[in-house]
Amino acid sequence: MDCFGFLNNKKKKTKKKEARGASERAGGAPVAPAAMTSMSSSASRSTASTVSQKGIPELYEEKAHNLRVFEFDELMNATNSFSRMNKIGEGGFGSVYRGHIKGTLDGVDDKRRMVAIKKLNQRSMQGHKQWLAEVQFLAVVEHPNLVKLLGYCAKDGERGIERLLVYEFMPNKSLEDHLFNRAYPVLPWSLRLQIALGVAEGLQYLHEGLEVQVIYRDFKASNVLLDNDFKPKLSDFGLAREGPAEGHTHVTTAVVGTYGYAAPDYVETGHLTAKSDVWSFGVVSFEILTGRRSLDRNRPSHEQKLLDWVRQFPIQSKKFTMIMDPRLRHEYSVQAAREMAKLANACLVKNTRERPSMSQVVERLRRVMRVEVEQQEH
């Protein structure tokens, strides 16, 4: 399985024995963990690097043994040959299927466990790179508001390469589904606040809770999955990058992401920082408030761009409540809604230095929730 051929030649020799040991502990082919050293050594460290600080590849090698390496046939059987009946999603990477897996997963011996299996589209130009990034980052991170990667599969054959990821199953779909699809029940206001706080804590952990900073780079409602109790979890780490090296302010990289969510400073310069995620959080905050997409071509021209539309209704004016999702039927604290809108605006300041950090966002959201509780008590 020669699926990681773009490693630096110098690293191949020094890492060979170490990689073989790590992959054998994971139950897979000897080359798999060494492959993960390829991701953040280029653009994500383009500004500089420090010898002492561990990067994602080094942290991955320490934790790779926690992932289960699946056989392709096993995942074929789990999904009934990737039946359309088991297909639950699709994106640029490929398709996602539900399936049932037997054996040990995440340290637990399950007779039969429901999982989500993402299968790379073989025609995807960026898919392999994103698959590598997801394996690396999700093997390293661990937080209640980040989706858990259980294992992966990499197979090369005459019919081409197969790349798959196996995640914990999230039964309540995505925040996008519940905000914008009228076939779903309305998300109550209090639950919207809890979801906003949960994903903010997930981003805070990525920015501040690891040995190396991680910039998520693709925060949007469709990447917020909801578990059985509607606890939110960030998914899809294919575009995640390491933050800037010590002494540097940004990472210079190709501009990727989703139009309507990417920070304008990042789009214009290619300079990526944690404040790029903060901007995206501001956009999604307004989606949570309004029940509208950041960009909706089906609306009248003056309402298509959410951020332009909400500016017509100043936060302290009587008109402010006109931005609120009508499906909430006024069952929310106007004061709490105003505080959340103020926070969203703070995240959307053009000057990146003036945007709050995610730890500040978390603290302000907690205050918003206290305001909500106080208003309900009165």
The Cβ of residue 169 has, within 10 Å, a number of other Cβ atoms equal to: 20
Give 370's contacts (C-beta < 8 A, 6+ positions apart): none
Please confirm, yes or no, whether 218 is among the known catalytic residues.
yes
- The radius of gyration computed from the CA coordinates of the chain, to the nearest angstrom, equals 21
- The active-site residue out of 177, 218, 236, 277 is 218
Residue 364: C-alpha distances to residues 145, 231, 307, 336, 343 (Å): 18, 19, 21, 11, 7
Rounded Cα distance, 93 and 107, in Å:
28
- Residue type at position 211: E
- The verdict on whether residue 319 carries a ligand-binding annotation is no
Token duo for residue 337: 């809604």
Residue 241 bridge partners (DSSP): 215
- Helix (H) or strand (E) holding 363, with range, is helix 358-377
Token duo for residue 234: 């960030």
- Active site positions, annotated: 218
Binding-site entries: 119
Binding-site entries for ATP: 119
